[in-house]
Structure 1
Amino acid sequence: MKLISFSAIKGGVGKTTLAFNYGEWLAKQGQSVLFVDLDHQCNLTQTYQIYTSEDTVANIFLGKGNVAVHSIKENISLIAGSMNLDWIEASLEHNTNKYMLLYMWLQDHCEEYQLAQYDYVIFDCRPDFSIATRNAVAVSHSIISPIIPSDFGYLAKFNIEEKLEDFKASAINFQTRESYVTAELFFVANMIKNNTNSSRELLARLENEPNLIGIIPNKELFNRSTLDKISIAEMREDETLYCKHKKFFNSIDETFSGIYGRI
């Protein structure tokens, strides 16, 4: 089982859209995927038309109550997000185990919720480095962070790198002096437009970045997929749509295949 966090310190970078489409692509490849929505806006949860305040991810952090694992479709399940997660995080500020609550829950409930059946667990994090985000980072094998071509888009790369290094330095086993945080950070250049200065500048800056694992073109089909509640992987099965946008669909498939091979 591989655990992946989709995280960014900046909002509006397409994090949830990327997480949703990559998870859906994995499912089409026969991989079993569990989504965990850690963003209190619950956009990923609502993409799957789940609207509930019961048995959500909130109970993981409250340390009590049931957590429902919703079976969405073949190869895809979801633990719903909670709009109360922001105030729950605030209430945990003085909890000495606040960054390891998800780690402990996964260990304690692995058999109860049959978590070992999943090939991938994908955490959709909120656009900050909050308690919930740090919990996801602490258990993840990989972190995927989208970067967009904007005035502050590239700076967000250094922001998350710095916060991750600080977190690694503080979350250590005091006997071995080794960090509990072992996730590798990867970047995806997202919303890239052809023939625009901002996109060319971003790609030039990332040219020698060894952990750049994908480039996603700016395409309305991709950007609206969560709003329209249909993934790129599902759209691809529409023969008419595929023929019309063949180059785009093939580029996404190639990009996701590359990410799959890298992480």
Structure 2
Amino acid sequence: MNVRHNLDLISGSAELEAVNVELVSRINNTTIFLSYLNKSKITEKYDYIVIDTRNDSNIITNNMLVASDMILGVTDPSADGFEALTNLVGHIEYLKSELTHPVTNESYVKAQVFFIGNLIRHNTRISRQFKEAMKGNSRYLGYFHDRTAFNEAAMQRISVLDLFEQKDYQDKKYDEFKKDTIDLIDRIKETLDTLY
């Protein structure tokens, strides 16, 4: 579906669960999507392909991870969130070691993992602890503020950047929030661009 100029969307499907079951019996079942991307012309059509996956390690998700150049682990400031990031790094390392070419022993998995904080508040102890814990971590790119603007953009079915153009968000009190959000989006893009 064409969402706007320069942006297309392919929505997920409940049928993916059935595909996941079907893939269990397939040889090389975690490299099927990578093979599809390499054979198709889809990568020639787009500058970037963004895949939003569930936080699991089923075969479908593993296919998406294997085909990726960059993986963003997104977490709120919680113990479970930190544990999920650690598990994500371990899982990617496992995939890298397991999915190798039989002759060259080169891994099919090229992805690098980076971290993004989400729902971070400026005035809570747990958010300050999160920022302190992430300081100096080479994988950490920054965080998104815990602001209702994200929910409001979703309700209007627009991007948060489009929301920033609306009159209500021209007030100076939103300047820091808008700047931090745009800076993080730019940092993600710049990081990806330097990888390949």
TM over 0.5: yes
Structure 1, unmatched stretches of 5+, are 1-69
* Number of aligned positions between the proteins: 191
Does 1:129 pair with 2:94? no
Q: TM-score, normalised by structure 2?
A: 0.90
Counting only pairs closer than 5 Å after superposition, residues 1-263 of structure 1 correspond to structure 2 as 70-110=1-41, 114-243=42-171, 245-263=174-192
User: Structure 1 stretch 203-212 or stretch 234-243: which is displaced more?
Assistant: 234-243
- How far has the Cα of 1:129 moved from its partner? 1.6
Is the CA contact 1:214–1:256 (under 8 Å) kept in the aligned structure 2? no
**CA–CA distance in 2 between the matches of 1:186 and 1:141?**
11
Q: Please list the CA deviations of residues 139-192 of structure 1 after superposition, one character each: whole Å capped at 9, or x if unmatched.
A: 111111112112311111111111111111110011111110011100011111
- SS of match in other structure, 1:191: strand
Q: Do the aligned partners of 1:137 and 1:183 also contact (CA within 8 Å) in 2?
A: yes
**Contact 1:193-1:218 within 8 A present in 2 as well:** yes
Cα distance in 1 for residues equivalent to 2:191 and 2:64: 20
CA deviation profile, 1:37-73 (whole Å, cap 9, x unmatched): xxxxxxxxxxxxxxxxxxxxxxxxxxxxxxxxx2221
**How far apart are residue 246 of structure 1 and its match?**
2.5
- TM-score, structure 1 normalization: 0.68
C-alpha distance in 1, partners of 2:118/2:170? Answer: 21
Q: Cα 1:132–1:226, aligned 2, differ >3 Å: closer, same or farther?
A: farther
Asked if the contact 1:235/1:242 (under 8 Å) is kept, the reply is: no
Residue identity matched to 1:209: N
Q: 1:71 to 1:115 in 2, by over 3 A?
A: farther
Percentage of matched positions with identical amino acids? 26
What do the CA deviations read for 1:182-217 (whole angstroms, capped 9, x no partner)?
111000111111221211222222112101012111
Q: Distance in 2 between matches of 1:242 and 1:145?
A: 31
Could you say which structure has the higher strand fraction?
1
Displacement, 1:134?
Answer: 1.2
Considering only aligned residues, what root-mean-square deviation do their CA atoms show, in Å?
1.6
Structure 2 residue identity aligned to 1:262: T
Change over 3 Å in CA distance of 1:118–1:125 after alignment to 2: same
CA distance in 1, matches of 2:39, 2:186: 33
